[in-house]
Structure 1
Amino acid sequence: MKKFSLDQNSWIVALVASVAVAVVASYAFRYFTGDFMNNSSERVVAMFEKTRLACFGRFVISVPEDTVIIHGVAQLDGNFNVKRGKAKNIDEVTSSRLQEAEEEREYLSASQIKDLPLVGEVIDGLLPGQKLVFGARGSIGYTIHSYMPLGSDLFVLEVDDELNVKSRVQEMNRFASQLRLRRNSEIPGAPGFCVDGGVVDIQPEYENTAFGLHFKEFPDVRFSIRMRKNRDYLQESSSPSALRKSAKERASVIQLASFFARITTLREGRRQLNGWEGEEILTRRPEYKDDTDAHEFRFFSVGQRHDALHPLLDIRMDTGVRENARASVRPSLTDEAALVLWDKLLPTIRVRQPSDATPPNAPSSTVSLGSVMKSGDICPQSGWWECLEKRKIEGERRRFFKAGDKLSPVLADGGASLWNTLIGNTHQIATVEWKLLEYDPSSAFSVDTKSAGIPQADNDTKENDA
């Protein structure tokens, strides 16, 4: 039998090959465990070396500088959203909505049309260029779409099943008068509810908003926040412990108890979060069929009744997400790194304060306090301006305008058309003079510690600081 042997060169080749296989195996292992190149925990920490505040609703969160921010549709006594860059298309948008309203009208009987005569009508709103379109949702009442062009964006407020047209149109015009543009990187100093590209200073009965974060460093991670102002009812049944108990019972019924038993609980229990008393459960679910393993983190607080600053709070973080489908790819975070990211983000969620305001641009030497401009002029200086109109006007006389905004007209007593008078618009849009009072938006506020950080603008009390 011939004896098998390797010469010196062959041994070197074999050694190099074995080292290469080991390197590739290590590379693949570290890639598929989410710890490729650098430890993911260290990468998470590095993300937070540069952070910024992001504004949503009446709250802020501190996020890594390059975080992608997603605003969901807000509900502010109606569905509110923005069509970015679509202000120039308002005629096209309103025409499309009018066509839909005409189709809705065809489903109404003659008596129903008599009860809802405004279906298919469009009227001007308070804001320059604003249009209100009336439709019908069944025979219950009107739908009203308010289209508000500001800058290059088109903001839309929609209400359903509305019969009290007079008061609702007044409310929607008031909404438009309190809406202003906001850069997504800007934190307002004035009160208001932050939405995508804007902020509106209103106190609706019902508030609901959703907000999400995507991270360039970890594209499979999704962090989301949902907040809803409670009324009389607190949603106790949506707590993680209640849902987990229900899921466990269902898993037993459909013979998935073994899968449920393999879920790893990383942390669980009660947690205080900047005024919220809540419940936290952080888990890693196992692979199942086509689903990969993935993290499912959640914090939930029922909040308090009728308190916009203590709403229901539902915070979630998922890993392994691809194209909004969970458990689709292997997580890029280890358990340790997922906990680090969660604990870096969660404690920074809080009520927005006047001191959070984005620093204003330095005052231009050519724009002095007391300078007077007219409605329609481009605001030359961010700050607080006072309306000099002598007649009674709708809304506050002191208003904050940002440099580059158009100084707005106001709704003043008298001169309304017969049609507007019939539907409750007893004012007219008036071009007025505005006088610059203050440069710094935060200087108009002081914090009342007895009101939990709720700001006061001179002697004009606001209910909320955000």
Structure 2
Amino acid sequence: MKTVCVGRFLVDVPVQAEVSLSREMIDGFEIEKREESETAFHERVAARAADIDAQAAKDPARRTSGMLEARDLAIPGMAGRSLVYGRTRSYYFEGERRIDTEWVSVEVHAHKEGWSFSLSAKFADETSARAAEALLARLRLRGEDDIPAVAGFCIGRAVFAEPLPPHKTEHIAMHIGLPDHPDLGMAFASLPGGGTSRTLLERYADMDADAGADELLRVTRLRTGKRDIDALAGEEVLERVREFNFATTFGFVWEAQGVKDDPLRPFLSLELHAGISAEPGGKPRDSSLHEDAVLALWDCISSSIRLRPGGPPPSGPSGPAEPPGPKLGAVASAGDTCPQSGWWQCNEGGPDVGVQGGQVQYIRKGERMPQPLLLPRQTLWQKVRRIQSSVEPERLAAWKLVDKRLWPRMVPLVALAQPGMPPMPGDAGAGKPPVALLGTQVRTGEPCPASGWWRCEESHALDGTRWFAHGSLLPAATFQVPASVFGHAAGPEAIRRRSVWQLVRQMEPAPPRETAPADVAAAGILGEPPALA
């Protein structure tokens, strides 16, 4: 992962991600930037001033709307010019009273160390140029991947360093793309907060109320509810959609409402869409990432959103070490703030009493430790009537940290079907290792065209993504039979049926070597993939 500075916040994204920034604004001024020489900068600004005068001269009746003021910047180490033009007068009515209004357009252009920055506003007053100049006086350049050591508002290749003049609004958006997955896109936006009357969950509840039965059947909610990130109170909705062309896509959203007129607590939005067509207006396509991978990517990026610290970071290893987080075995009480993201085990519950959501639950740092709801063992009559009684403990429950991993290692309860025996190495013939295009689909019982990781296309199968060797016969998918009302399956615990497998990742095998028949299984041809360097 790499860290990107976006406005007042830091976000971690994959190293190979392509990142771009847009909608950069501060205090009502749009921000434009470009890399150019100082000579080219002066020529461009002079041409812009001449164009303003030429546009005003075309309409003699509005000659006063031309250039009103043009002056050089008085900022040390920065060349530039302020342009105030286009005075416009109008009026409106409040009841029966007429109110006259007047505004101008402002552009302040600055150049520093090979970079040009422009702050512009189409509707402003004549004093706004001074406000833009005061902001540019606090502009500091930074490298493309540098994280500023001072507090302030990050834009591309620069930061407006604190202390800044008083202002209320800041805008910026970051776009994230993965070259290997062109169907996936993410966007993170920071906007002035407190302007939305309906929250994310309220808007989705309204959409559900208006949706038809067909749409509700095609949309599966993977996760929905309140979610706080780095003490930012927010809400998220994660959906899997079966499109009309039978493509499987994903749409994830997280929002924090923010506080009005507070740049340090803006409205934040993070979105992920997987399954986007490569052609504008094209039909959705199957997501190139499986559901578990999309969720892992989302959790990794969204959990990293944090307010950028205002002070300089420690310089080198001699700086003070970051205080260690809670160790395994740490205990937190219900109602406390979770000190460490991980899997926490509740002290309530036992063989005869379950816990709603599980006795071991994943809780993120910053969330409130929940007070569990206990589920006593059902009686026979309750099982028949499908009734579950519940009890809330009188005392606050305690939670113990048992695992810091994002997902726990789980041993499958049902054995998966194994692939058929591939042909002997001598039968394959010499030549280059077989190669198949990503997305290639093969049915159960057919030989695997290339060694790699293959995803089962049945979403409810236990197989997920598995590694198969070239030539092995692809197995059937394994499904677990749901328990009956009496707590056990009426027949076998698992069933297997034919399926389709899709290639999602191919690994070049090691150079061919002679392998005795007895050593085939030991060489990893049927089981796990070869060891990775």
State the TM-score, normalized to the length of structure 2. Answer: 0.51
Residue identity opposite 1:182 in structure 2: R
| 2:203 corresponds to 1:243 | yes
Q: Could you tell me whether the CA contact under 8 Å between 1:126 and 1:176 is conserved in 2?
A: no
Q: Which has the higher contact order (CA 8 A, sep 6+)?
A: 1
RMSD: 3.1
Of the three residues 70, 90, 106, the one matched with 1:122 is 70
Of the three residues 58, 63, 67, the one matched with 2:13 is 63
What is aligned with 1:16? none
Of the three residues 137, 149, 153, the one matched with 2:115 is 153
Of the three residues 199, 210, 214, the one matched with 1:258 is 214
What is aligned with 1:303? 258
Cα distance between partner residues in 1 of 2:159 and 2:230:
23
- Kindly tell me: are residues 264 and 234 of structure 1, through their superposed partners in 2, closer, same or farther at Cα, counting changes over 3 Å? same
Matches within 5 A, 1:62-461: 62-77=12-27, 78-85=29-36, 88-102=39-53, 104-106=55-57, 110=61, 113-114=63-64, 118-119=67-68, 121-127=69-75, 128-136=78-86, 139=89, 140-163=102-125, 165=126, 167-201=127-161, 202=164, 203-230=166-193, 233-237=194-198, 239-248=199-208, 251-252=211-212, 257-288=213-244, 292-321=247-276, 322=278, 328-354=284-310, 357=313
Q: Could you tell me whether the CA contact under 8 Å between 1:186 and 1:358 is conserved in 2?
A: no
Cα distance between partner residues in 1 of 2:37 and 2:267:
33
What is aligned with 2:523? none
Of the structure 1 ranges 188-197 and 124-133, higher mean CA displacement relative to structure 2 is found in: 124-133
Cα distance between partner residues in 2 of 1:251 and 1:96:
54
Question: Which consecutive residues of structure 2, in runs of 5 or more, have no partner in the other structure?
Answer: 90-101, 321-533
- Kindly tell me: are residues 107 and 279 of structure 1, through their superposed partners in 2, closer, same or farther at Cα, counting changes over 3 Å? farther
Q: Could you tell me whether the CA contact under 8 Å between 1:54 and 1:61 is conserved in 2?
A: yes
- Kindly tell me: are residues 331 and 142 of structure 1, through their superposed partners in 2, closer, same or farther at Cα, counting changes over 3 Å? same
Cα distance between partner residues in 2 of 1:303 and 1:137:
35
Q: Deviations over 1:183-208 (max 9, x none)?
A: 12111111221101111122522111
Cα distance between partner residues in 2 of 1:262 and 1:181:
49
Q: Could you tell me whether the CA contact under 8 Å between 1:104 and 1:135 is conserved in 2?
A: no
- Kindly tell me: are residues 250 and 356 of structure 1, through their superposed partners in 2, closer, same or farther at Cα, counting changes over 3 Å? farther
Residue identity opposite 2:67 in structure 1: L
**How far 1:131 sits from its partner (Å)?**
1.7
Q: Could you tell me whether the CA contact under 8 Å between 1:186 and 1:357 is conserved in 2?
A: no
Percent identical among aligned pairs is 20
**How far 1:299 sits from its partner (Å)?**
0.3
**How far 1:89 sits from its partner (Å)?**
2.8
Q: Deviations over 1:381-409 (max 9, x none)?
A: xxxxxxxxxxxxxxxxxxxxxxxxxxxxx
- Kindly tell me: are residues 93 and 294 of structure 1, through their superposed partners in 2, closer, same or farther at Cα, counting changes over 3 Å? farther
Of the structure 1 ranges 67-76 and 339-348, higher mean CA displacement relative to structure 2 is found in: 67-76
Cα distance between partner residues in 2 of 1:178 and 1:188:
13
**How far 1:113 sits from its partner (Å)?**
4.6
**How far 1:86 sits from its partner (Å)?**
6.4
**How far 1:276 sits from its partner (Å)?**
1.4
Q: Could you tell me whether the CA contact under 8 Å between 2:108 and 2:129 is conserved in 1?
A: no
Of the structure 1 ranges 90-99 and 215-224, higher mean CA displacement relative to structure 2 is found in: 90-99
**How far 1:359 sits from its partner (Å)?**
5.1
- Kindly tell me: are residues 248 and 327 of structure 1, through their superposed partners in 2, closer, same or farther at Cα, counting changes over 3 Å? farther
Cα distance between partner residues in 2 of 1:354 and 1:281:
31
Cα distance between partner residues in 2 of 1:196 and 1:317:
22
Residue identity opposite 1:118 in structure 2: M
- Kindly tell me: are residues 176 and 264 of structure 1, through their superposed partners in 2, closer, same or farther at Cα, counting changes over 3 Å? same
Residue identity opposite 1:280 in structure 2: E
- Kindly tell me: are residues 149 and 228 of structure 1, through their superposed partners in 2, closer, same or farther at Cα, counting changes over 3 Å? same
Residue identity opposite 1:145 in structure 2: E
Instruction: State the secondary structure of the residue aligned to 2:128.
Output: helix
- Kindly tell me: are residues 293 and 169 of structure 1, through their superposed partners in 2, closer, same or farther at Cα, counting changes over 3 Å? same
**How far 1:98 sits from its partner (Å)?**
2.8
**How far 1:221 sits from its partner (Å)?**
1.7
Q: Could you tell me whether the CA contact under 8 Å between 2:252 and 2:273 is conserved in 1?
A: yes
Q: Could you tell me whether the CA contact under 8 Å between 2:152 and 2:159 is conserved in 1?
A: yes
What is aligned with 2:357? none
- Kindly tell me: are residues 279 and 242 of structure 1, through their superposed partners in 2, closer, same or farther at Cα, counting changes over 3 Å? same
Whose radius of gyration is greater, 1 or 2?
2
Instruction: State the secondary structure of the residue aligned to 2:2.
Output: strand
Cα distance between partner residues in 1 of 2:180 and 2:264:
32
